[in-house]
Amino acid sequence: MIKKQWTALCLSLLLLLTTATAQAKNNEEIELSGRCGAYCYWLLKGDTLIVGGIGSVGNFGESPSNLYYSIDEQWNTPLVSHTKVPWDPYRSKIQNIYVEEGVTNFFDVDFNFYTKLAYLYLPKSITDLGTATFKRSSNLRQIHYAGSKGELHIADDVAKAIKRVSVRYESVKTPDIFTGFYDRALEAKNNLYATGSAGENIRWELKNRILHIEGTGDMLPMGSDGLSYIDPIINHPYGETGSFYAAPWGYFGDVIQQVVIGEGVESVFVNAFHECRELQTLYLPASVKRVATAAFAAIPNLQTLHYGGNGPAWEQVQFEKD
C-alpha cells in the first residue's frame, strides 16, 4: 500500500513539474510581431513587449480609410479590430513594455487588465501619455522616462490611474533585444511610392520623399466642387465631397520632405500641405497665381522656398485667406 501511494505521489509530482516546465517554456518561447501603425511595429518576446518605428501607433478605435496604413504588410489583414491593439490578446503575459525612440504617440489606447504589467519605458520622442488608462493594471509600479519631468504631459485622469507608480525621469534604458524597427520604418518611408490626381489636368507623384505635382490649371483637393477624382491607374476615387477638403497626398504628410510644383500649375489650395511636418523645401513655379495661406499651416520644418519667377511676378501672386 505504501509503495502504491509513493508511486502515485511521484507521478503527481512529475505531472506538476512537467506542466510547470511546459508553461515556463511557453512563456519563454512566445515571440510574435506585426505592424501597429503606418511606420510602427511591435514585438512580443516572452513577457516583454517592444514597440518601435517612427511616428504614431495607430488609433485602433476605428479603421482608417487609408489602406496603406490599415493593412498589415506581412499577413495582408486589417490592423484594426474591436478597438484593441494587436497584442491585446496577450496582455495577461506582458510584464514589461519598452517604447523605442522615434515613436511619438502610443497612448490613445488603453492598458486595462494588464494584470502582470510592472514596468514601462518611454523615450524622449513621446511627450504625452494621451488618454491611456490602466484600470486593474495594479502591478504597474515603475515608469522610466528618457526625458525630463517638464517634457512629459500626464493628464489628471491618467495621473490618478497611475498614482501608485514611481515615475523616474532622465532614465535612458534599452531592452536587450534588437528590433531594427527604426531603420525598417526609415527604409519604408524612403521607398514609399504613390501617385494620383490633383485636378482635372494635374497629377502628383511621391517618390524618394519628394512630391512632384505636374500639369496645367488649378490644383484641386479631394472632393472639390462636388467631384471625386478617379486615379486612372488604379481606378479608385481619392475623396468624397464635404466641407473639409484634404490633399490626396495628405496621408503621407510625415513622409514628404520636398515639394516640386511644375510650370503650368496655377493655384495652391487650402490645406494642400497641411501638417507636412517633414517638409523642408518647396518649389513654386512662375505660373502660380493664387496661393491659399492656410496651405502651409503646421509645417514647422519648412526652411527654403524657391520661386521660378522674378520679383515683380512674385508681387502679383495672390495670397488668399480662408
The model's pLDDT over 76-110, given as tens digits with 9 standing for 90+, comes to 334 444 456 788 888 899 999 999 999 988 876 67
How confident is the model over 151-166, as a mean pLDDT?
Answer: 87
Q: How far apart are CA 266 and CA 199, in angstroms?
A: 11
User: Where does residue 142 rank: exposed (0-12), middle (13-18), buried (19+ CB within 10 A)?
Assistant: middle
- With beta carbons less than 8 A apart as the criterion, state whether 148 and 172 touch: no
Distance CA 38, CA 294 (A): 26
pLDDT of residue 12: 55
More confident residue, 79 or 205: 205
At 79 the pLDDT is 42
Q: Average model confidence (pLDDT) for the chain? A: 78
Alpha-carbon distance values, 318 to 237, 290, 292, 310 (Å): 30, 5, 8, 15
Q: Which residue has the higher pLDDT, 204 or 78?
A: 204
Q: Say yes or no to pLDDT of 249 above 50.
A: yes
Q: Above 60 in pLDDT, residue 73?
A: no
Q: CA triplet 110, 68, 52: central angle to 5 degrees?
A: 45
Residue position matching grid coordinates 464635404: 242
Q: What is the pLDDT of residue 233?
A: 42
pLDDT at 244 over 60: no
| 22, containing H or E segment | helix 2-29
Label residue 137 by pLDDT band (50, 70, 90). Answer: confident
Tell me: pLDDT of 72 over 80. no
Which of the pair, 47 or 105, is modelled with greater confidence? 47
Specify the DSSP class assigned to residue 170: S
**What is the sign, positive or negative, of the torsion defined by CA atoms of 247, 80, 32, 124?**
positive
Q: Are 230 and 187 in contact (CB under 8 A)?
A: no
Cell numbers placing 40: 510602427
Judged against a pLDDT cut of 90, whether residue 213 lies above it is answered with yes
Query: If you average pLDDT over residues 127-136, what whole number do you get?
Result: 81
pLDDT for the residue 199: 83
Q: Do 44 and 25 touch, CB atoms closer than 8 A?
A: no
User: Regarding predicted confidence, which is higher, 180 or 72?
Assistant: 180
pLDDT for position 36: 81
Above 80 in pLDDT, residue 114? yes
Q: At residue 280, does pLDDT exceed 50?
A: yes
**For 138, what's the count of Cα atoms within 13 Å in the CB-facing half-sphere?**
1
Give the residue-averaged pLDDT of 232-237.
42
Percent of the chain past pLDDT 90, that is, above it, reads: 38
Asked if pLDDT for residue 321 goes beyond 50, the answer is yes
Give the per-residue pLDDT at 99: 95
pLDDT tens track for 4-25? 555 554 555 455 444 444 444 4
Quote the pLDDT of residue 124. Answer: 95
* Residue 321 cell numbers, joined: 485667406
In the predicted model, is pLDDT for residue 241 greater than 60?
A: no
b/e 235-273 (16+ beta carbons within 10 angstroms → b)? eeebbeeeeebbbbbbbbbbbbbbbbbbeebbbbbbbbb
